Structure 1
Amino acid sequence: MHSTPNTFGGRLFAPGLDGVGMPATGQWRQGRLVVWVQDGAAEREWLAPEHPTLSAGGFNAAQLSVGWPVDGGQLQFFVDAGAARTAFAAGMPASLAQPHGVAQRAARGVERRFKFWWAALAAVALLPVLAVALLVLRGGDVVNWAVQQIPHAQEAKLGDLVLAQTRAQMRVIDSGPAVDAVKHIGERLTPGTLHRYRWLVVDNQEMNAFAAPGGVVVVYSGLLKSTDTPEEAAGVIAHEVAHAELRHGLQGLVKSLGLRAGAAVLLGDWSGAVLSEATTSLLEMQFSREAETQADAEGLRRLVAAKINPEGMARFMDKLAAKSQGATPPALLSTHPASAERATQLRALAGQHPGPWEPLALDWATVKASLP
């Protein structure tokens, strides 16, 4: 084991580690950060570059997030608040003073929101009967109100955590025709968005795709292979974009984990139990029939606005409806239930828009051939 003077604790997220992170220890050595974890009987160690990325994180932004790229993805070390943060700053080289100062200012901004949010929660706590009545009678309105209080910048950080977990658990295809195609389609569907979209293709033969809060859209290679045209893929991407734009992931998170999940996102509590429950919940999110109907309609609207033939969306839904009758339905159906009725509704909506359309300038045979 390493010696302990001038060390500081935290939680580490890295490719190959548990998706919810592992307790870790950091130490400055000759101006470079070294982080290690005890993984069973073995000890694993990482050496940071001279200029890692620093940002505020954790409860009330009192934690410090230190990140840098490693083989297989991104490493993120959350330095604990209090004495650990003090020890980190004491040994930190002067070259990191500026980004560390930016993180401190961000922490002060989150602290102000923290005080406001908890004052609001305290007020609600004084009226438990009213709160219960509101949740029972107007539960949807309460959830929507809570989601509206969360800035898009905080929502993006939640998406970053899902992105880090995806990179740790799956092999991400970082470049090539398929990645370029998904990004090209996605950008046509999201003009003027408030999100900073991240478009991912993962090497997984399941017929699946999902969207995380803050503009993370993940498309499985198996889904792309199952499409016959880029317009069919665009239909799936448009549906996932609609979930992101309508903030269905955040709504589902608050509904499943309660208002404390909304408070955690608003305040930047990206560690501990909330992190574990939130990321797991988002990766396994099952949307309601109402949310799916909304995403279908909004996705189709975006296809029409982008002059992409929405018939592709209806055709892909036909495929899902047909495959749902099989012994092993596609993985996409575990979170996006399909039905022949839904496919019929989409085709009727698509039929209301005669075009003209602008074909997607993509060599789809090349895109599919490029996939593992």
Structure 2
Amino acid sequence: MHSTSSTFGGRLFAPGLDGVGVPATGQWRQGRLVVCVQDGGVEREWLAPEQPTLSAGGFNAAQLSVAWPAEGGQVQFFVDAGAARAAFAAAMPATLAQPHGAAQRAARGVERRFKLWWAVLAAVALLPVLALALLVLRGGDVVDWAVRQIPHAQEAKLGDLVLAQTRARMRVIDSGPAVDAVKYMGERLTPGTLHRYRWLVVDQPEMNAFAAPGGVVVVYSGLLKGTDTPEEAAGVIAHEVAHAELRHGLQGMVKSMGLRAGAAVLLGDWSGAVLSEATTSLLEMKFSREAETEADAEGLRRMVAAKINPEGMARFMDKLAAQSKDATPPALLSTHPASSERAATLRALAAQHPGPWDTLPLDWAAVKASLP
């Protein structure tokens, strides 16, 4: 193997960079991957270890994900498909042949799905007038239909991307009482789920939490500190779980970007521009009043089923409703609008379920004290 090789393009996610990634070039030097970006006119380099994690990347599995841990998060380089992928493989060390081969097999499987679904879409494209009429007259039904066609496994890949961006943009707390508590409550709230949930606690002072498609739930340390009881925190987690289970994030993305977003997730055919637009829309998504009402009701139902006192959800909503009048309301209100009416509705629903309730086996003072 030569000491250096030709360069190949891709997209880099790393701490300190834009959350949706930046264009980058890679090159093999003495058997080590070096990734370069232009940052404000200055070239910056990231040196991968000798054995980075190599796997199929991107929604069509044609990209290659090369990842390794770094200070403040994780570095993940997505090698472009085609010539860039070929240049990567031509000079890579022999030790990476096995994971690279697995990625190639995954790409061939997705390619077979492409042929089938592009044939379906080509047939649909012959009926543009009907499609336009459906979008105008029954847009919601079309979106719901498109979302139902997307397998949970494909939706999980979208969540993986949001997860990678979260790790690149924020400091994730990987262990400790807070992480254990969030996972414990989350698993109680999701029996029999079709998602593979990833429960994250991030070191962020804002009172915030969000759910991404495919079962990624991110809870800010500031939110945990702002609760008085574990039941209040469970109420927030239940609400976010409801968004994930009802696939609100996926529905919102398809509505905001059009059916091309649904087709992209379904087929795994995502260009860099669509990828960036989709993940940005997910991180900044504001749900409709209807979606929020559905998530409230479904979250409360899950708390009752888990024998967690749903009054905790109502108490937390009371807090948000009160703080919404402040000059600097909680960050959660930017995507989850609160109101005294919502709090009252939740309290009325909670009152219909007298219990008995389990006492959550969590030392909440210790949980909060463990946070930075």
What range describes the TM-score normalised by the shorter chain of this pair? over 0.9
Task: Tell me how far 1:212 sits from its aligned partner.
Answer: 0.6
Distance 1:38 1:309, change over 3 A: same
Equivalence for 1:16:
16
Amino acid at match of 2:259: L
**CA offsets per residue over residues 59-95 of structure 1, 9 Å max, x none?**
6432212212222212111112222111111112222
The aligned runs of 1:219-368 (5 Å cut-off) are 219-269=219-269, 271-368=271-368
Q: In the aligned structure 1, how far is the partner of 2:96 from the partner of 2:84?
A: 17
SS of the residue corresponding to residue 61 of structure 1 reads: coil
Moved more, 261-270 or 234-243: 261-270
Amino acid at match of 2:283: L
Distance 1:20 1:271, change over 3 A: farther
Moved more, 78-87 or 38-47: 38-47
SS of the residue corresponding to residue 355 of structure 2 reads: coil
CA RMSD, Structure 1 to Structure 2 (Å): 1.8
Q: Is the Cα contact below 8 Å between 1:134 and 1:142 reproduced in 2?
A: yes
Distance 1:89 1:149, change over 3 A: same
Q: In the aligned structure 1, how far is the partner of 2:58 from the partner of 2:199?
A: 25
Equivalence for 1:142:
142
Equivalence for 2:65:
65
Equivalence for 2:90:
90
Question: Which segments of structure 1 move beyond 6 Å, counting only runs of 4 or more?
Answer: none
Q: Is the Cα contact below 8 Å between 1:57 and 1:269 reproduced in 2?
A: no
Q: In the aligned structure 2, how far is the partner of 1:179 from the partner of 1:75?
A: 22
Task: Tell me how far 1:271 sits from its aligned partner.
Answer: 4.9
The aligned runs of 1:86-165 (5 Å cut-off) are 86-165=86-165
Unaligned runs of 5+ in 1: none
Task: Tell me how far 1:227 sits from its aligned partner.
Answer: 1.0
Q: In the aligned structure 1, how far is the partner of 2:184 from the partner of 2:75?
A: 28
Q: In the aligned structure 2, how far is the partner of 1:322 from the partner of 1:228?
A: 15
Equivalence for 1:169:
169
Identity, in percent, stands at: 89
Distance 1:339 1:191, change over 3 A: same
Task: Tell me how far 1:170 sits from its aligned partner.
Answer: 2.1
SS of the residue corresponding to residue 10 of structure 2 reads: strand
Q: In the aligned structure 1, how far is the partner of 2:39 from the partner of 2:268?
A: 28
Amino acid at match of 1:165: Q
Equivalence for 1:197:
197
Q: Is the Cα contact below 8 Å between 2:156 and 2:214 reproduced in 1?
A: yes
Amino acid at match of 2:28: W
Q: Is the Cα contact below 8 Å between 2:59 and 2:158 reproduced in 1?
A: no
Distance 1:186 1:194, change over 3 A: same
Q: In the aligned structure 2, how far is the partner of 1:364 from the partner of 1:333?
A: 24
**CA offsets per residue over residues 273-311 of structure 1, 9 Å max, x none?**
112111111111111111111111111111111111111
Amino acid at match of 1:329: P
Amino acid at match of 2:121: L
Q: Is the Cα contact below 8 Å between 1:254 and 1:262 reproduced in 2?
A: yes
Moved more, 300-309 or 28-37: 28-37
Moved more, 208-217 or 37-46: 37-46
SS of the residue corresponding to residue 143 of structure 1 reads: helix
Q: Is the Cα contact below 8 Å between 1:27 and 1:35 reproduced in 2?
A: yes
Q: Is the Cα contact below 8 Å between 1:212 and 1:282 reproduced in 2?
A: yes
TM-score normalised according to structure 2 size: 0.94
**CA offsets per residue over residues 131-175 of structure 1, 9 Å max, x none?**
111112221221111112222222112112112222222222222
**CA offsets per residue over residues 256-277 of structure 1, 9 Å max, x none?**
0011111222233455111211
Q: In the aligned structure 1, how far is the partner of 2:316 from the partner of 2:367?
A: 17
TM-score normalised according to structure 1 size: 0.94
Equivalence for 1:186:
186
**CA offsets per residue over residues 291-350 of structure 1, 9 Å max, x none?**
111111111111111111111011111111222233332221111111222111111211
Unaligned runs of 5+ in 2: none
Moved more, 59-68 or 72-81: 59-68
Moved more, 67-76 or 261-270: 261-270
